[in-house]
Structure 1
Amino acid sequence: MDETSTTPWPPLIRDINADGQFTLSDVWLWIVQLYFVPGDAVLWVLLTYTPGLATFLELGPGSYHGLFTAMVSGGIWLVAIVIVG
Protein backbone atom coordinates (compact mmCIF):
# COMPACT_ATOMS: atom_id res chain seq x y z
CA MET A 1 0.00 0.00 0.00
CA ASP A 2 1.18 3.52 -0.73
CA GLU A 3 2.44 5.26 2.41
CA THR A 4 0.52 8.45 1.56
CA SER A 5 -2.78 6.61 1.91
CA THR A 6 -2.12 6.06 5.62
CA THR A 7 -1.81 9.79 6.42
CA PRO A 8 -4.55 11.68 4.57
CA TRP A 9 -4.72 14.62 6.94
CA PRO A 10 -1.87 17.09 7.23
CA PRO A 11 -1.47 18.56 10.70
CA LEU A 12 -3.59 21.63 11.44
CA ILE A 13 -0.85 24.18 12.10
CA ARG A 14 -1.17 27.91 12.59
CA ASP A 15 0.68 28.96 9.40
CA ILE A 16 -0.87 26.34 7.13
CA ASN A 17 0.24 27.94 3.85
CA ALA A 18 3.85 28.27 5.10
CA ASP A 19 4.29 31.90 4.07
CA GLY A 20 5.82 32.81 7.43
CA GLN A 21 2.80 34.81 8.62
CA PHE A 22 -0.54 34.01 10.20
CA THR A 23 -3.16 35.67 7.99
CA LEU A 24 -6.78 35.34 6.89
CA SER A 25 -5.66 32.98 4.12
CA ASP A 26 -4.54 30.52 6.80
CA VAL A 27 -8.01 30.61 8.38
CA TRP A 28 -9.61 29.96 4.96
CA LEU A 29 -7.29 26.99 4.40
CA TRP A 30 -8.27 25.62 7.84
CA ILE A 31 -11.94 25.79 6.82
CA VAL A 32 -11.22 24.04 3.52
CA GLN A 33 -9.17 21.36 5.25
CA LEU A 34 -11.90 20.75 7.85
CA TYR A 35 -14.59 20.59 5.14
CA PHE A 36 -12.79 17.68 3.47
CA VAL A 37 -12.27 15.62 6.65
CA PRO A 38 -15.42 13.43 6.28
CA GLY A 39 -14.79 12.63 2.61
CA ASP A 40 -11.11 12.03 3.17
CA ALA A 41 -12.00 9.68 6.05
CA VAL A 42 -14.32 7.69 3.78
CA LEU A 43 -11.60 7.55 1.12
CA TRP A 44 -9.05 6.40 3.71
CA VAL A 45 -11.40 3.58 4.78
CA LEU A 46 -11.86 2.54 1.13
CA LEU A 47 -8.12 2.58 0.44
CA THR A 48 -7.23 0.77 3.66
CA TYR A 49 -9.95 -1.87 3.97
CA THR A 50 -11.33 -2.30 0.43
CA PRO A 51 -8.48 -1.57 -1.98
CA GLY A 52 -10.20 -3.58 -4.73
CA LEU A 53 -13.26 -1.33 -4.58
CA ALA A 54 -11.06 1.77 -4.48
CA THR A 55 -9.23 0.55 -7.58
CA PHE A 56 -12.52 -0.18 -9.34
CA LEU A 57 -13.71 3.35 -8.54
CA GLU A 58 -10.33 4.67 -9.76
CA LEU A 59 -9.55 6.20 -6.38
CA GLY A 60 -6.08 6.46 -4.95
CA PRO A 61 -3.93 8.60 -2.65
CA GLY A 62 -4.14 11.42 -5.19
CA SER A 63 -7.91 11.54 -4.64
CA TYR A 64 -7.64 13.24 -1.24
CA HIS A 65 -9.24 16.72 -1.44
CA GLY A 66 -10.64 15.75 -4.86
CA LEU A 67 -14.09 15.64 -6.43
CA PHE A 68 -15.09 12.34 -4.79
CA THR A 69 -14.19 13.52 -1.30
CA ALA A 70 -15.80 16.92 -1.92
CA MET A 71 -19.11 15.27 -2.83
CA VAL A 72 -18.97 12.83 0.09
CA SER A 73 -18.04 15.63 2.51
CA GLY A 74 -20.85 17.82 1.20
CA GLY A 75 -23.37 15.04 1.72
CA ILE A 76 -22.14 14.26 5.21
CA TRP A 77 -22.09 17.94 6.24
CA LEU A 78 -25.60 18.40 4.80
CA VAL A 79 -26.92 15.44 6.79
CA ALA A 80 -25.17 16.73 9.92
CA ILE A 81 -26.72 20.19 9.49
CA VAL A 82 -30.19 18.70 8.98
CA ILE A 83 -29.82 16.52 12.08
CA VAL A 84 -28.54 19.38 14.24
CA GLY A 85 -30.96 21.95 12.81
Structure 2
Amino acid sequence: MRVLDRQPYSYVLLARDGEWILTFLLGGPVERDVSVRLTPAEVTAIEDGESSATDLVETVRTDLSAYDDRRIRPTVWPGKTDDE
Protein backbone atom coordinates (compact mmCIF):
# COMPACT_ATOMS: atom_id res chain seq x y z
CA MET A 1 0.00 0.00 0.00
CA ARG A 2 1.34 3.39 -0.98
CA VAL A 3 0.21 6.82 0.23
CA LEU A 4 -0.37 9.08 -2.78
CA ASP A 5 -1.74 12.14 -0.99
CA ARG A 6 -2.95 13.06 2.46
CA GLN A 7 -4.38 15.89 4.45
CA PRO A 8 -4.01 15.29 8.20
CA TYR A 9 -7.29 14.78 10.06
CA SER A 10 -9.17 14.84 6.76
CA TYR A 11 -8.24 12.21 4.16
CA VAL A 12 -5.64 9.85 2.76
CA LEU A 13 -5.39 8.69 -0.87
CA LEU A 14 -3.87 5.22 -1.21
CA ALA A 15 -2.77 2.89 -4.00
CA ARG A 16 -3.24 -0.80 -3.23
CA ASP A 17 -3.17 -3.76 -5.61
CA GLY A 18 -3.80 -1.63 -8.69
CA GLU A 19 -6.68 0.37 -7.24
CA TRP A 20 -6.87 3.81 -5.68
CA ILE A 21 -8.71 4.19 -2.39
CA LEU A 22 -9.83 7.43 -0.78
CA THR A 23 -10.35 7.25 2.98
CA PHE A 24 -11.73 10.28 4.76
CA LEU A 25 -13.39 11.41 7.95
CA LEU A 26 -17.10 12.13 7.84
CA GLY A 27 -18.26 14.50 10.55
CA GLY A 28 -21.62 14.90 12.17
CA PRO A 29 -23.04 13.91 15.54
CA VAL A 30 -20.63 10.97 15.41
CA GLU A 31 -17.41 11.18 13.43
CA ARG A 32 -16.71 8.12 11.29
CA ASP A 33 -14.35 7.17 8.52
CA VAL A 34 -15.24 6.06 5.00
CA SER A 35 -13.18 4.33 2.29
CA VAL A 36 -14.23 4.47 -1.37
CA ARG A 37 -12.68 2.81 -4.43
CA LEU A 38 -12.01 5.34 -7.18
CA THR A 39 -13.12 4.73 -10.74
CA PRO A 40 -10.63 4.87 -13.62
CA ALA A 41 -12.15 8.23 -14.66
CA GLU A 42 -11.60 9.67 -11.16
CA VAL A 43 -8.00 8.40 -11.12
CA THR A 44 -7.34 9.95 -14.53
CA ALA A 45 -8.87 13.27 -13.45
CA ILE A 46 -6.55 13.40 -10.43
CA GLU A 47 -3.49 12.40 -12.47
CA ASP A 48 -4.30 15.04 -15.10
CA GLY A 49 -4.86 17.75 -12.47
CA GLU A 50 -8.53 18.18 -13.39
CA SER A 51 -9.64 17.05 -9.93
CA SER A 52 -8.13 16.43 -6.51
CA ALA A 53 -8.70 14.18 -3.53
CA THR A 54 -10.20 17.19 -1.73
CA ASP A 55 -12.72 17.64 -4.57
CA LEU A 56 -13.69 13.97 -4.40
CA VAL A 57 -14.13 14.05 -0.62
CA GLU A 58 -16.59 16.93 -0.99
CA THR A 59 -18.43 15.16 -3.82
CA VAL A 60 -18.79 11.90 -1.87
CA ARG A 61 -19.85 13.73 1.30
CA THR A 62 -22.77 15.36 -0.52
CA ASP A 63 -24.36 12.01 -1.42
CA LEU A 64 -22.61 9.11 0.31
CA SER A 65 -25.36 6.65 -0.61
CA ALA A 66 -24.52 7.10 -4.33
CA TYR A 67 -21.09 5.60 -3.58
CA ASP A 68 -22.30 2.71 -1.45
CA ASP A 69 -21.41 0.10 -4.07
CA ARG A 70 -17.78 1.32 -4.01
CA ARG A 71 -17.37 1.57 -0.25
CA ILE A 72 -14.81 -0.63 1.45
CA ARG A 73 -15.62 -2.06 4.83
CA PRO A 74 -13.73 -2.01 7.11
CA THR A 75 -12.07 1.25 6.14
CA VAL A 76 -8.50 1.27 4.88
CA TRP A 77 -5.79 3.29 6.60
CA PRO A 78 -2.03 3.01 6.03
CA GLY A 79 -0.16 1.04 8.64
CA LYS A 80 3.16 1.84 10.20
CA THR A 81 4.95 -0.52 7.81
CA ASP A 82 3.40 1.01 4.68
CA ASP A 83 5.15 3.62 2.51
CA GLU A 84 4.44 7.18 3.58
**Alignment TM-score > 0.5, same fold:** no
Q: Pick the structure with more helix per residue.
A: 1
TM tier, shorter chain? 0.3 to 0.5
Q: Which one has a larger percent strand, Structure 1 or Structure 2?
A: 2
TM-score (normalizing by structure 2):
0.33
Q: TM-score normalized by structure 1?
A: 0.33
